[in-house]
Structure 1
Amino acid sequence: MILTSIIISIIYLALIWRFTYGFDKVLTFKLTDLASKTQFSILIPFRNEAKNLSSLLLSLENLNYPKHLFEIVFIDDDSTDCSAEIITQYFNKKQQKFKIIGNDRQTNSPKKDAITTAIKQAKHEWIITTDADCSLPKYWLDSFDEFIQKTKAKCIAAPVAYSKQKGFLNRFQTLDLLSLQGATIGGFGIKKPFLCNGANFGYTKTLFKTVNGFEGNTNIASGDDIFLLEKAVKKHPKNTHYLKCKHAIVKTNAQPSWSSLIEQRLRWASKASAYNNFFGKLTGLIVLLINTLIISIILLSFFGYFPLKTLFYILLIKFSIDFYLIHKTASFFNQKWVLKSFIPTFCIYPFFSVYIAFLSIFKTYKWKGREFKK
């Protein structure tokens, strides 16, 4: 057991160190005030988001990008609240061009259907997706445009962060998302991209059609982002990039309760078994193994079956490398304030992640008022 524990810890250390190395390999992109050229179709699926729309609508209005170079397409996924009315009233007052279309449901995945529906009607070659509960930075489209002009990218993953709110639950989720963003950026840096976030994701319409959109993954409700990234990496590895730019950071809200957080994580876990990216699967397995290991050896140490000294060294290894990656990520996202909750989060997270992994085997999950099977 001791030898196995040491081997797993060393493998985990090597993995996270690779991510920290890769994080620095992805250079921070800075705007240089190039003339705007790229035309964008911004796609925003929504379902019953009336309480979240105000921040999104204000941020869309305040985008710095020339208005004739982008369109805004909202896709109503069978909302039962007044979301559509709020959007219509807001933009009619501002005289901003937009359109709301209905979702053409064809599969078990409402969001993939919504994006597919909108792409068929999108006017422009470049598609950017975000969510209705997000807030967009002023130079969001400028960042994408200059990056496209300089890299000739065809698929772009971009940064997402949680807005700062009071309470430990928010800090817990922020640290969790920072670790995911660190792994995302690190994966791109070592030429093994395996994560992205649909709240800030761009690709060409041509690429979407070339890889047959979401075909092959529509039986799984979530994963509109990662499954498409997998196809893009396979088809155009040299044209798939991460936009590491502070002006491109999209903000969203953390879950308001532990129960809603669990539902969200169950939704995320539901797509893991369908990943085609070997490195992504391996990373998930190693992370699950180290967290399961920590719980096991803590219990064994409590009953005297595992040396406390070895337990201490394993915890020190994990603590140090986790903090190193998250500190780098928090610095980029200007969220170092959250590090004050790193120790309690470090103590809780193994139990939380293993619980989610175990629960995902047996439990369905709810999303936007609907229940989905794994």
Structure 2
Amino acid sequence: MIWFLVLIFSLYAFLIVSLAIGFYKVDEFTETIETNSTSFSVVIPFRNEAKNLPALLKSISELNYPKELVEFILIDDDSTDNSVDIISGFQNNIQIIKNSRISNSPKKDAITTAISIAKNNWIITTDADCILPENWLKIFDNFIQKTNPKMVVAPVNYKVKNNFLEQFQLLDFMSMQGTTIGGFGIHFPFLCNGANLAYKKEEFLKLNGFKGNNNIASGDDIFLFEKFIKSDKNCVGYLKSKEAIVTTFPVKNWTDLINQRTRWAAKTGNFSSLKVKLIGLLVLFTNFLVVYYLWIESIELLFVPFVVKMSIDLFLFLPTIKFFNQKSSFFKWYVLASLLYPFFSLYVVFKSFFFRYNWKGRRFKK
């Protein structure tokens, strides 16, 4: 067993250090172009988001971008609260439409419905529980003018309180954000987040949108991202800019967290890239070994895998939390969160394979 432990942790260390180097290789985008020229259709699906919509709408009203170059399409996915009324009372360039359900994925249907009526060639998606930075569209426009991409992946941050549940989610989410940026830096992009994602409408239609994966409830971002990468990896860029960071919020209880992460994990088996699947297996085995030695194995090696993994993870965590300005509470919760995470991740993977999950008042299977 020891040889297997050494092999897995050596591979894991190589992966994390490579991603950390990749993180530094992605330069922050700071260029400014005075003339705005990109026309955006901002697409935002929502379902029962009455609590979050006021903050989103306020951030929309404060965006620093010419109004004639942007339209907002909000798609009501069968809300049962007063979400529609809240949006209707907001005076801005916002169009509310009803979702047209045709598949097992409500969110993919909502985005497809919006794109079918979008006036502009650049689609940019975010979520109804997000807050948009003032220069969000301006920095996207500058990046598009400078690099001429077909898809742009951009950063997402959490706004958290100083309690264990939310700090645990933050550390988990920061690991995904760091991995996303690092992947671009080593020329192997394999993650993105639909809360901050832009792409050309003409390319979306050329690649047949979500066709081929709309039987999977989640993955409106990653499967489309895979299509763009397969079509032309060089056409997909990462916008590493603090001005582009969209902020969202963690869930408020452990049940919702498990359901959310189960929803995310349920799509991983459908990734098209063998390399990405192998990375997933490597992380799974690493977490399994930590649990095995903490729970089952001899006292002599009790904490060794845990301490080693926690130390390795710092290589990627430290630059990530610095970029996202999350340093203040990081070390207070890091050890405890690192101790729980392997157990949590194994449980989520197990649940994603064998059980249904609930999300937004609906029940889904893998």
Q: Could you tell me the TM-score, scaled by structure 2's length?
A: 0.97
Contact 2:162 2:329 in 1 (8 A): no
Paired with 1:50 and 1:31, the residues of 2 have a C-alpha distance of 37
- Report deviation, 1:155: 0.4
CA distance 1:164–1:341, change in 2 (3 Å): same
Paired with 1:298 and 1:312, the residues of 2 have a C-alpha distance of 6
Question: What amino acid is the match of 2:4?
Answer: T
Instruction: Check if 1:367 corresponds to 2:365.
Output: no
Instruction: Check if 1:144 corresponds to 2:140.
Output: yes
Q: Secondary structure at the match of 1:90?
A: coil
- Report deviation, 1:192: 1.0
Q: Secondary structure at the match of 2:90?
A: helix
Contact 1:136 1:251 in 2 (8 A): yes
Contact 1:6 1:314 in 2 (8 A): no
Q: Residues 286-326 of structure 1, C-alpha deviation per residue, up to 9 Å, x if partnerless? A: 11110001111223434x5xx42xx5553333122201211
Q: Residues 220-268 of structure 1, C-alpha deviation per residue, up to 9 Å, x if partnerless? A: 0100000000000011211101111000000011010011100101100
Question: 1:29-48, aligned counterparts within 5 Å?
Answer: 29-48=29-48
Q: Secondary structure at the match of 2:328?
A: helix
Question: 1:151-230, aligned counterparts within 5 Å?
Answer: 151-230=147-226
Paired with 2:303 and 2:358, the residues of 1 have a C-alpha distance of 39
Paired with 2:7 and 2:101, the residues of 1 have a C-alpha distance of 48
Report percent identity of matched pairs: 52
Paired with 2:139 and 2:274, the residues of 1 have a C-alpha distance of 31
Instruction: Check if 1:251 corresponds to 2:247.
Output: yes
Paired with 1:53 and 1:31, the residues of 2 have a C-alpha distance of 31
Paired with 1:42 and 1:227, the residues of 2 have a C-alpha distance of 20
Paired with 1:23 and 1:285, the residues of 2 have a C-alpha distance of 22
Match of 1:284 among 257, 280, 284: 280
Contact 2:209 2:224 in 1 (8 A): yes
- In structure 2, what is the equivalent of residue 88 of structure 1? 88
Question: 1:1-374, aligned counterparts within 5 Å?
Answer: 1-91=1-91, 96-302=92-298, 307-308=300-301, 312-339=303-330, 340-374=332-366
Question: What amino acid is the match of 2:321?
Answer: A
Paired with 1:368 and 1:312, the residues of 2 have a C-alpha distance of 39
Q: Would you say how many aligned residue pairs link Structure 1 and Structure 2?
A: 365
Q: Secondary structure at the match of 2:134?
A: coil
Paired with 2:346 and 2:204, the residues of 1 have a C-alpha distance of 35
Q: Secondary structure at the match of 2:173?
A: helix
Unmatched segments (≥5 aa) in structure 1: none
